Structure 1
Amino acid sequence: MRLAELSERSGVPTATIKYYLRERLLPPGERITTTKAEYGDTHLRRLRLVRALVQVGKMPVAAAREVLAAVEDESLDHHMRLGAAVWALPHDPAPTEETPEITAARGTADELLRRLGWQYGLKLGPVSPAYGMLVNALAALARLSYPHTVENVLPYARIAGELAAADLDLVEEYETPAEQVEAAVALTVLLEPVLLSLRRLAEAEESHRRFRADSS
């Protein structure tokens, strides 16, 4: 398909597609003349992913380019390629200083992973952005005297394990490894707001069930 058709089928303006091409967020089309190129279904898929990263995820172009480089890294096995692509997504910064709260939070995080049997998470812990986010979150809970023990967090972690299985069930519905990696990244970005909104709706429902005024 030509650029105009790619724009029509994707819903992305031609000027935006040209910008993505210049910024190397979209691979070049197959050149058919000096001024025209042909595009295919891979470009449609990639445009969906780029829109998820840049428009929904509000990701800077440089960060999106780094994620896409991980998506395209065929030197990795499937597990590592999926992990590298999701790992490249922006994360909150890791702890920058070893305060007593941070040290205690690391211990809590490690014990939590041990209790769950997440040996791979324990192995990656020191360098994993998600692990650093967990440590920061646990330390913040501790500083403000909110529940932050392993027992407090364990129910959330078990639900997270179920969510991870559901995520990868969705990813496996895509046929090729390349499509699966792209879907893993896009769904990570697109489903996080869904999870947040569902949690808040569920809390409102549970609060109504527990604490509503007796109208009788």
Structure 2
Amino acid sequence: MRLAELSERSGVSTATIKYYLREGLLPAGRRVTATQAEYDEEHLRRLRLVRALIQVGGITVSSAREVLATLQDEGLDHNERLGTAVWALPHGPAPAADDPVADEAARRAGELVRRLGWGHGEDLAEAPAYGMLVGAIAALTRLGYPCAVEDLEPYGRAMGDIAGSDLDLVERYGGSADEQVEAAVALTVLYEPVLLSLRRLAEAEESRRRFTGK
């Protein structure tokens, strides 16, 4: 397909596609003349991923380039590519290293992860999401809200179930190993608003049941 068709099918303007090509977010098309190139389904799939990362995930072009480079690294296995790509997604700020409240929050996070049986403690502690968890626990602590390990553990177990559903969805999505890893990264970004909205709807429903008896 030519650039105009790629734009029409993807919903991305030709100017934006050309920008993505210049920035290395999209592979070059097959040159057919000095001024024209042809594109295929791989370009269409990559455009969908780039849109998910930048427009929905709100990550920078440089971060998107880092994620895409990881997805293309054939030296990494399926799990490593997915893990490294997800690590490159934006996360909240980690707490200051010399904050005593953060030190206690890190202890709780470590105990929570141990109870959940998630991964290797030292490796997991390097994950950006782990730092974000520590920062969230520290903020709850400062404000005096419940955040003991016992309070957090049910959420962790629920997230474990959701992670299983995430990867079930990716496997049903089908395609090659490369396509599945790309889909996993895209769905990590695209499903976060779904999870947030469902949680708020569920809380409204639970509140109605508990406090109105209806």
**TM-score, structure 2 normalization:** 0.95
Q: How many residues align?
A: 213
Q: What percent identity do the matched residue pairs reach?
A: 66
1:211 is paired with a residue whose SS is helix
Measure how far apart 1:97 and its partner are. 2.3
1:115 counterpart residue number: 115
Equivalent residues of 1:85, 1:181 under 8 A apart = no
1:132 counterpart residue number: 131
1:119 is paired with a residue whose SS is coil
**TM-score, structure 1 normalization:** 0.94
Equivalent residues of 1:29, 1:38 under 8 A apart = yes
Equivalent residues of 2:96, 2:102 under 8 A apart = no
Residues 24-173 of structure 1 aligned to structure 2 (within 5 Å): 24-120=24-120, 122-173=121-172
Instruction: Please report the RMSD computed on the Cα atoms of aligned residues, expressed in angstroms.
Output: 1.4
2:26 is paired with a residue whose SS is coil
Measure how far apart 1:105 and its partner are. 0.9
2:185 is paired with a residue whose SS is helix
Measure how far apart 1:125 and its partner are. 3.0
Distance in structure 2 (CA, Å) of the matches to 1:204 and 1:10: 36
1:73 is paired with a residue whose SS is coil
Deviates more, 1:173-182 or 1:38-47: 173-182
> Where in structure 2 are there 5+ consecutive unaligned residues?
none
Equivalent residues of 1:31, 1:37 under 8 A apart = yes
Equivalent residues of 2:91, 2:129 under 8 A apart = yes
> Where in structure 1 are there 5+ consecutive unaligned residues?
none
Runs of 4+ that moved beyond 4 A: none
Distance in structure 2 (CA, Å) of the matches to 1:58 and 1:77: 27
Distance in structure 2 (CA, Å) of the matches to 1:91 and 1:39: 33
Measure how far apart 1:190 and its partner are. 0.5
